[in-house]
């Protein structure tokens, strides 16, 4: 087994046992990147030099006999909407193509201070708007399970990199499912923490009241380890919650006896693909076998969630993206006769179609005369959605659903129809609207041997229960996700190796 | 362009009533900006007081400066406003290159202060002007366009030092009835804001700005006429002059049977006219919505009370107290309470020298005279209350005459030396010793037989001349009252 194939906690043990150096680990990962990146295209920017320097620093600490933390020397991919000092942060947008921030996001600072090795900046949908990376201003990332398919989005580069062995860990951001849906499509673990759990300082805003940064990893243990590093109060983010944050790794307990899992009937209706339904129902049976109790719950306002989301998110985005005018940084359209024209042309040239569509939707929703009917109404429905979950959580500990209604779709399949693309987030967006934590982990395979993700939503700040449940399932049914084939056309279910979850 | 001759006939004047509301923006005197730690100091190198936050770089977040909120509460209380228990920030969206995020973090429907009032008095009349709201927001940067305005400028320069300085918007009700009243309102408001130490209110540095809304209506009408908004009012005088111009312009238009167009007008100081800028119909839709990067503020009542307890006595109350407690005429009380520092100076003097009117006279005519001549404020005064007390005490005791007192005080002002020391050194102590004066008086009588005879003949005026001669010979040090008495005695005895 090559070093790049190991998880973070395995690599940590390898470093502790001095079986390999941090430099050898990062070398292995970059060899893998050199090998498969032309197929996958997960990264916008690679930071090879910085990565080798960071790995060297880890090795020096080890050589000096210093104690190293669980993430010291571990290679990570960062979504390209996380501000990194001195390193381009593009948000996959032409408008920020050459933008080099003078400061780092809080999460980046935290990781760097723990010796994490940054590999580069991962591709995404432009400004995190999309579900496939097809809205990237630069290129589309391929799904390692089938190179003709999308990796999901918007954190598609992060999920594909982790899945393809081009990174051990990754950070993504999730505004409506942008961590969980690509994790599901790429067969890896993704967690969207409770709103306020992870500092947003330095995360380039899409929709401020919905955005959260979270881990994308190969297993649940790594997810808990990465959460330990990024969760916590940050005085630079007024929406970050000042409370005690637990050691998430202490919830890596393979026991869910008595755990009450709510199954909302609204999430198993029309639009759910049969292969995904089958995989999810099989996983539900397995959870039950492990001692969990399935209870029926109802989230009666679910049908309004998508509409609500596309009002709140676009309204906030229309304002958040106003700053890209060519005056201070980023793209500046050439030859404009005055600064008003300059701003207009810069935005026309710099933003892609989906970003423009959402800015227009949001601008409309906030306009005088429409505000009450759209934005204000959406805020009210948002409250109803929160109340739906409060009632559901009276009967259960976590809420279960598919992460996405389908497995990874084909590149180009939904680009002509934005609404069908939006529907791919139907199960994930409510967690953002209700500020709840949600985890997606591989639970089986659907058509063409493509991974299916199972989503569990928890109570506010109850990431521990999500980690425990996902860990228990992973321990019992899939200690690690099988390697993706890195070819087109997916593969036969029969070819999936024994020991993974599909063939019992 | 229509030029308007000022002055309407009495008949026309009586037909109309003027309705004015003012929107005042003041920069708060916090050390750092409202959402970041950058300095608020005026006059620094362009863009030297900036950081990722006030430049609105991708990914930054605002954190509210507690001191700015405290200053807003302080102002709300001083203006008799209700301080909201629950307040929040909103985004005001508009594009302008000096606005780094292309939205301004402001307050829309839940401002910090609501429903206050301000009492103004002038020409013996006392009026209460309603304060509609007091809200907190961030200042924009400063644009310099090479050309007349943003469109058509060959280039524009941006300085973001100012961007993010905390700004308070104070909106009056349309309760002001004349340009003169607007002027007095502004003065009163400025005095209060300076008293409570929240702003230096320097219009020339832009730390106080004023927009005015004005309309006219038929006297007795209860509905409002179409209003215009005046911009570019760069001094209190400009506010008064601009409003006066606009008032007359509107009345004349109505007299001609025209309708007033609801619009923004620019005050052209040089030409003394207002010109149309843009009509309100084309005005921005600011698309206000709650600022999602900041949590709503719950204003703790204890905090409000604590802020209230640190409020100083405000100018109006202090003026009344000066009249009652010190028996000062209204004019004196008004002038002395105009600035907190001056009123403090006065009261410090009265503590040492109890004749309040004497202190008031001295401070107003002597001290302020000297300060004004040098263009200094009371805060920059080289003499402390101790000097005033000493000079007044010496005068009251008869140690020095009024003339000497002025001379000595001037020297103190110039040199910083205490009056007592100057008097002693220069031997300026008043001569109140009869035996010392007897010789001089005899000399004067001898040298001026004519005036002495005049006095004997009943010409009282001659005595004044003779006293003057004694004063001259003693270089002003003789006690004039004593000289008067001694001269009279000697001449009558003769």
DSSP readout, B202-230? -GGGTSEEEEEEEEEEETT--SPPP-EEE
A240 reaches B (C-beta below 8 A): no
Q: How many other CB atoms are found less than 10 A from the CB of residue B472? A: 12
The pLDDT of residue A500 is 45
Q: What is the DSSP string of A453-496?
A: EEEEEESTT-HHHHHHHHHHHHHHH-SSPPPP--STT---GGGS
A121 is catalytic: no
Distance CA(A316)–CA(A323), nearest Å, equals 13
Give CA separation, B365 vs A116, A381, B332, B382, in Å: 73, 69, 11, 16
Each of the 504 residues of chain A gets a pLDDT tens digit; together they read 899 999 999 999 999 999 999 999 999 999 999 999 999 999 999 999 999 999 999 999 999 999 999 999 999 999 999 999 999 999 999 999 999 999 999 999 999 999 999 999 999 999 999 999 999 999 999 999 999 999 999 999 999 999 999 999 999 999 999 999 999 999 999 999 999 999 999 999 999 999 999 999 999 999 999 999 999 999 999 999 999 999 999 999 999 999 999 999 989 988 899 999 999 999 999 999 999 999 999 999 999 999 999 999 999 999 999 999 999 999 999 988 888 899 999 999 999 999 999 999 999 999 988 888 999 999 999 999 999 999 999 999 999 999 999 999 999 998 888 777 788 888 999 999 999 999 999 999 999 899 999 999 999 999 999 999 999 999 998 755 567 888 876 665 545 544 444 433
Please list the residues that pair with B27 across neighbouring strands.
B167
A83 is catalytic: no
Distance CA(A382)–CA(A386), nearest Å, equals 6
User: Taking each helix axis from N to C terminus, what angle separates B461-473 and B480-493, rounded to the nearest 10 degrees?
Assistant: 120
Residue B321, Cβ density class (10 Å: 0-12 exposed, 13-18 middle, ≥19 buried): middle
Q: What is the DSSP string of B168-207?
A: EEEEE-S-B-SHHHHHHHHHHHHHHHHHTTS----GGGTS
Is beta strand A260-264 parallel, antiparallel or unpaired with respect to B155-159? Answer: unpaired
Q: In this structure, what token pair is assigned to residue B208?
A: 């106080």
Residue B269, Cβ density class (10 Å: 0-12 exposed, 13-18 middle, ≥19 buried): middle
CB–CB contacts below 8 A, A to B: 113
Q: Considering only alpha carbons, which residue of chain B is nearest residue A235?
A: B63
Phi, psi of A43, rounded to the nearest 5 degrees: -110, 145
Phi, psi of A75, rounded to the nearest 5 degrees: -75, 135
Give contacts of B 143-202 with A, CB under 8 A.
150-153, 156, 158
B-chain CB neighbours of A371 within 8 Å are 287-289
3-state secondary structure A356-392: HHHHHHHHHHHCCCCCHHHHHHHHHHHHHHHHHHHHH
For residue A281, give the nearest of A475, A398, A500, A272 by alpha carbon: A272
Quick check: A340 and B91 CB within 8 A?
A: no
Strand, helix or coil at A252? coil
Q: In this structure, what token pair is assigned to residue B116?
A: 């206050």
For chain B, domain boundaries: 10-303, 313-426, 434-493
Biggest distance spanned by C-alpha atoms of chain A: 70
For residue A256, give the nearest of A456, A482, A502 by alpha carbon: A456
Pick among A340, A348, A359, A377 to test the B interface (most B CBs inside 10 A)? A340
Quick check: A319 and B287 CB within 8 A?
A: yes
Q: How many other CB atoms are found less than 10 A from the CB of residue B430? A: 22
Q: How many residues does chain A have?
A: 504
- Give me the CATH topology for the region B434-493: Arc Repressor Mutant, subunit A (1.10.10)
Q: In this structure, what token pair is assigned to residue A453?
A: 């993700």
List domains and CATH numbers for chain A. 3-303+382-495 (3.90.1300.10)
Give CA separation, B383 vs A68, A224, A307, B37, in Å: 67, 70, 71, 37
ipTM: 0.94
Contacts (Cβ under 8 Å, ≥6 apart) of B321: B313
Quick check: B97 and A343 CB within 8 A?
A: yes
Distance CA(B172)–CA(B420), nearest Å, equals 51
Q: In this structure, what token pair is assigned to residue A259?
A: 């755990």
Q: In this structure, what token pair is assigned to residue B494?
A: 């003769």
Q: Of the residues A83, A93, A104, A178, which is catalytic? A: A178
Distance CA(B489)–CA(B494), nearest Å, equals 9
Pinpoint the alpha helices (H) of A231-338: 274-289, 305-320
Q: How far is B97 from chain A (nearest CA, A)?
A: 7
Distance CA(A19)–CA(A14), nearest Å, equals 5
Cα R_g (chain A), whole angstroms: 21
Distance CA(A134)–CA(B446), nearest Å, equals 117
Q: How far is B233 from chain A (nearest CA, A)?
A: 25
Each of the 494 residues of chain B gets a pLDDT tens digit; together they read 344 455 788 888 888 999 999 999 999 999 999 999 999 988 889 999 999 999 999 999 999 999 999 999 999 999 999 999 999 999 999 999 999 999 999 999 999 999 999 988 887 788 899 999 999 999 999 988 876 666 667 778 999 999 999 999 999 999 999 999 999 999 999 999 999 999 999 888 889 999 999 999 988 888 888 899 998 888 999 999 999 999 999 998 888 888 888 888 889 888 888 888 865 545 678 999 999 999 999 999 999 999 999 999 888 889 889 999 999 998 889 889 988 889 999 999 999 888 889 899 988 888 888 888 888 888 888 889 999 888 888 888 877 777 788 888 888 888 888 888 887 777 777 777 777 778 888 888 888 888 888 887 888 888 888 888 888 877 777 777 788 888 888 877 76
8 Å CB contact between B307 and B77: yes
For residue A460, give the nearest of A382, A401, A385, A386 by alpha carbon: A386
| Per-residue pLDDT tens over the stretch A200-241 | 999 999 999 999 999 999 999 999 999 999 999 999 999 999
A178 is catalytic: yes
8 Å CB contact between B236 and B187: yes
């Amino acid at each position: 087994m090559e070093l790049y194939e190991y998880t973070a906690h395995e690599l940590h043990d390898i470093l502790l046992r001095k079986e390999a150096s941090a430099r050898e680990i990062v070398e292995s990962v970059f060899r893998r990147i050199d090998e498969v990146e032309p197929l996958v295209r997960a990264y916008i920017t690679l930071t090879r030099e910085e990565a080798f320097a960071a790995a060297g620093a880890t090795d020096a600490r080890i050589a000096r006999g210093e104690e190293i933390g669980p993430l010291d020397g571990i290679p990570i991919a960062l979504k390209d909407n996380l501000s990194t000092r001195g390193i381009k942060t593009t948000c996959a947008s032409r408008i920020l193509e050459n933008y080099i921030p003078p400061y780092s996001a809080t999460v980046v600072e935290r990781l760097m201070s723990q010796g994490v090795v940054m590999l580069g900046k991962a591709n995404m949908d432009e400004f995190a708007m999309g579900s496939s990376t097809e809205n990237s201003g630069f290129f589309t990332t391929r799904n390692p399970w089938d190179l003709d398919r999308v990796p999901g989005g918007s954190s598609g580069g992060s999920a594909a990199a982790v899945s393809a062995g081009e990174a051990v860990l990754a950070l993504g951001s999730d505004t409506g499912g942008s961590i969980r849906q690509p994790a599901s499509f790429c067969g890896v673990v993704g967690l969207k923490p409770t709103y306020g759990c992870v500092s947003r300082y330095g995360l380039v805003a899409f929709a401020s009241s919905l955005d959260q940064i979270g881990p994308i990893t190969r297993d649940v243990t790594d997810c808990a380890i990465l959460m330990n590093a990024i969760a916590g109060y940050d005085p630079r983010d007024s929406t970050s919650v000042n409370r005690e944050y637990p050691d998430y790794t202490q919830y890596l307990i393979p026991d869910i006896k008595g755990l009450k899992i709510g199954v909302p009937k609204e999430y198993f209706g029309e639009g759910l693909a049969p292969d995904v339904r089958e995989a999810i129902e099989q996983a539900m049976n397995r959870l039950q076998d492990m001692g969990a109790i399935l209870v029926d719950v109802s989230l009666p306002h679910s049908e309004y969630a998508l509409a609500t989301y596309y009002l709140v998110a676009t309204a906030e985005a229309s304002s958040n993206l106003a700053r890209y005018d060519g005056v201070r940084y980023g793209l500046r359209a050439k030859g404009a006769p005055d600064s008003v024209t300059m701003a207009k042309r810069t935005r026309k040239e710099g933003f892609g179609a989906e970003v423009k569509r959402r800015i227009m939707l949001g601008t409309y929703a906030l306009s005088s005369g429409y505000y009450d009917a759209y934005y204000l109404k959406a805020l009210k429905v948002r409250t109803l959605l929160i109340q739906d979950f409060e009632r559901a959580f009276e009967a259960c500990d976590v809420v279960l659903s598919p992460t996405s209604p389908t497995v990874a779709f084909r590149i180009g399949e939904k680009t002509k129809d934005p609404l069908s693309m939006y529907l791919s987030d139907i199960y994930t967006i409510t967690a953002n609207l209700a500020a709840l934590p949600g985890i997606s982990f591989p639970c089986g395979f659907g058509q063409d041997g493509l991974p299916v993700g199972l989503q569990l939503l928890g109570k506010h700040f109850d990431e521990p229960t999500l980690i425990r449940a996902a860990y228990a399932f992973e321990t019992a049914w899939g200690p690690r996700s099988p390697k993706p084939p890195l070819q087109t056309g997916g593969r036969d279910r029969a070819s999936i190796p024994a020991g993974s979850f599909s063939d019992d | 362009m229509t030029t308007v001759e000022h002055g309407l006939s009495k008949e026309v004047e009586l037909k109309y009533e003027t309705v004015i509301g003012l929107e005042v923006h003041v920069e708060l005197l916090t050390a750092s900006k409202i959402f970041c730690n950058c300095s608020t100091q005026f006059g620094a190198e362009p863009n030297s007081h900036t950081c990722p936050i006030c430049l609105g770089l991708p990914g930054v977040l605002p954190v509210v400066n507690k001191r700015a909120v405290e200053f807003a509460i302080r102002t709300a209380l001083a203006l008799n406003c209700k301080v909201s228990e629950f307040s929040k920030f909103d985004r005001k969206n508009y594009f302008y290159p000096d606005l780094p995020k292309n939205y301004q973090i402001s307050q829309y429907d839940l401002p910090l202060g609501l429903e206050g009032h301000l009492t103004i008095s002038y020409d013996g009349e006392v009026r209460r002007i309603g304060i509609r709201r007091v809200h907190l927001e961030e200042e924009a940067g400063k644009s310099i366009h090479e050309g007349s305005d943003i469109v058509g400028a060959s280039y524009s320069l941006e300085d973001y030092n100012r961007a993010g300085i905390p700004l308070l918007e104070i909106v009056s009700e349309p309760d002001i009835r004349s340009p003169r009243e607007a002027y007095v309102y502004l003065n009163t408001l400025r005095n209060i804001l300076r008293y409570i130490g929240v702003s230096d209110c320097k219009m020339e540095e832009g730390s106080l700005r004023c927009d005015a809304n004005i309309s006219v209506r038929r006297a007795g009408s209860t509905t409002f006429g179409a209003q215009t908004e005046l911009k570019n009012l760069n001094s209190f005088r400009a506010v008064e002059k601009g409003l006066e111009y606009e008032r007359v312009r509107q009345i004349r238009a109505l007299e001609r049977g025209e309708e007033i167009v609801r619009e923004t007008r620019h005050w052209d100081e040089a030409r003394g006219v207002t010109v149309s800028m843009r009509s309100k119909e084309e005005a921005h839709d600011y698309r206000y919505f709650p600022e999602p990067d900041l949590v709503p503020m719950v204003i703790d009542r204890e905090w409000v009370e604590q802020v209230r307890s640190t409020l100083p006595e405000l100018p109006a109350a202090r003026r009344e107290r000066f009249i009652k407690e010190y028996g000062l005429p209204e004019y004196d009380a008004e002038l002395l309470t105009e600035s907190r520092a001056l009123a403090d100076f006065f009261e410090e003097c009265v503590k040492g020298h109890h004749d309040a009117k004497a202190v008031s006279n001295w401070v107003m005519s002597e001290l302020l005279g000297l300060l004004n001549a040098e263009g200094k404020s009371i805060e920059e005064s080289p003499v402390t209350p101790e000097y005033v007390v000493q000079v007044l005490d010496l005068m009251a005791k008869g140690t020095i005459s009024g003339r000497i007192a002025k001379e000595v005080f001037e020297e103190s002002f110039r040199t910083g030396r205490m009056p007592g020391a100057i008097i002693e050194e220069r031997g300026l102590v008043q001569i109140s010793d009869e035996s010392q004066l007897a010789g001089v008086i005899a000399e004067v009588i001898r040298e001026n037989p004519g005036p002495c005879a005049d006095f004997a003949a009943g010409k009282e005026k001659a005595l004044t001349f003779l006293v003057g001669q004694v004063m001259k010979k003693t270089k002003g040090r003789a006690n004039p009252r004593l000289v008067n008495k001694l001269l009279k005695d000697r001449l009558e005895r003769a």
